Each structure stands twice: as C-alpha cells, then as structure tokens.
C-alpha cells in the first residue's frame, strides 16, 4: 500500500478511535453506543478503540473497492488488527509493571503505536501468502465483534476487564 493510503488509514482509525473513547459518555451512557465505545477504563474496552475503527474501515474498503482488493486483503487486515490489539495489551501491562502505575500520555501513545503496528503488519502480510483464509479471517472479525458486545456488559472477572479507576 502507498504511504498516502496508509496515512489516510492511520488518520481515519486514530480520529475515530479517539472519539470512541468519549462517545459512550456523550450519549448519556446509551447501551447501544456502549457496544462500540469504551464504557470504562479497562484494557479490554480500550481495545474497541482500535478494533471498531478498523472494522468500519474494512467494511468501507470492501464496499468501495470490492473486486479490486487483493485476495489476501481480509486475512492481512485481521492479522494486523490482532497484532495491534496484542501490542496494546503487552505494552500496557509491561509499562504498568515497569513504572508501577498508568500514565495517560503513555497510554495515548501506546494506542497510536498499536494503530501503526496494525498497519505495519497488514502491509507486510499483503506481500506474503495468507496465514488465514478469507473465510477464517471473516470468522475472526465476527467472533471478536460478538466478544466485544458480550463482554461489554458481561465481562469475565480477570484483569483485562478490570476498570482501574474503580478498582474492579
């Protein structure tokens, strides 16, 4: 992909992700908005800020470019999303472990680094054979979407889902 395309993708995902951090509160805690937005400060909820903008971008690109997309588009995109989400989780807990607490500026930088990592991995996978089939990639996107919806209001009792601002 071209630098211009990647820059546009980065800006789209980043701006939408930042907005999704606030849309739940702005909506008056609307439950439907909460399915797509961060409803608390847990790590899991912050992964939505990367996932849903990428999902929307994927849908838009498929609708606009459909048959012109390479066969490895969706598998590469999914691997990029997974890498970015994994990078955010690993980075967050590593920084928290090393520094002993959270710093908002570092968390924000980590989000943007996750977006960059997603795009980097996606671009690398474009040039190689797919690790996933298109059907498997679509299934992963569907599974993640369902997981975000279910765990928004019924989170498991593990650290990834705990809101550090309330201690749970």
Whole-model pTM? 0.93
Report CA-CA distances (Å) from 71 to 23, 42, 80, 87, 132: 34, 35, 15, 26, 11
Residue 168 — pLDDT band, cuts 50, 70, 90? low
Do 37 and 17 form a contact (C-beta atoms < 8 A)?
no
- pLDDT for 64-122, tens place per residue? 988 888 889 999 999 999 999 999 999 998 988 899 888 889 999 999 999 999 999 99
Helix H or strand E encompassing 40: none
Position 70 scores a pLDDT of: 85
Domain boundaries, the chain: 3-161
- pLDDT for 117-146, tens place per residue? 999 999 998 877 777 899 999 999 999 999
- pLDDT for 1-25, tens place per residue? 789 999 999 999 999 999 999 999 9
Position 130 scores a pLDDT of: 73
H helices of 37-133, in order, are 43-65, 73-99, 104-126
Position 103 scores a pLDDT of: 87
């Amino acid at each position: 992909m071209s630098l211009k395309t990647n820059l546009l993708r980065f800006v789209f995902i980043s701006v939408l992700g930042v907005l999704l951090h606030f849309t739940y509160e702005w909506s008056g805690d609307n439950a439907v908005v909460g399915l797509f937005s961060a409803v608390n400060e847990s790590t899991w909820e912050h992964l939505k800020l990367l996932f849903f903008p990428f999902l929307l971008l994927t849908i838009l690109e498929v609708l606009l470019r459909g048959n012109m997309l390479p066969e490895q588009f969706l598998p590469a995109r999914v691997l990029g999303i997974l890498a970015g989400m994994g990078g955010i989780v690993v980075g967050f807990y590593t920084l928290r472990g090393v520094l002993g607490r959270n710093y908002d500026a570092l968390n924000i930088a980590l989000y943007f680094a996750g977006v960059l990592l997603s795009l980097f991995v996606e671009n690398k996978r474009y040039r190689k054979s797919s690790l996933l089939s298109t059907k498997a990639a679509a299934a992963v996107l569907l599974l993640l979407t369902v997981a975000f919806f279910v765990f928004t209001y019924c989170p498991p009792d593990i650290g990834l889902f705990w809101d550090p601002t309330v201690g749970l």
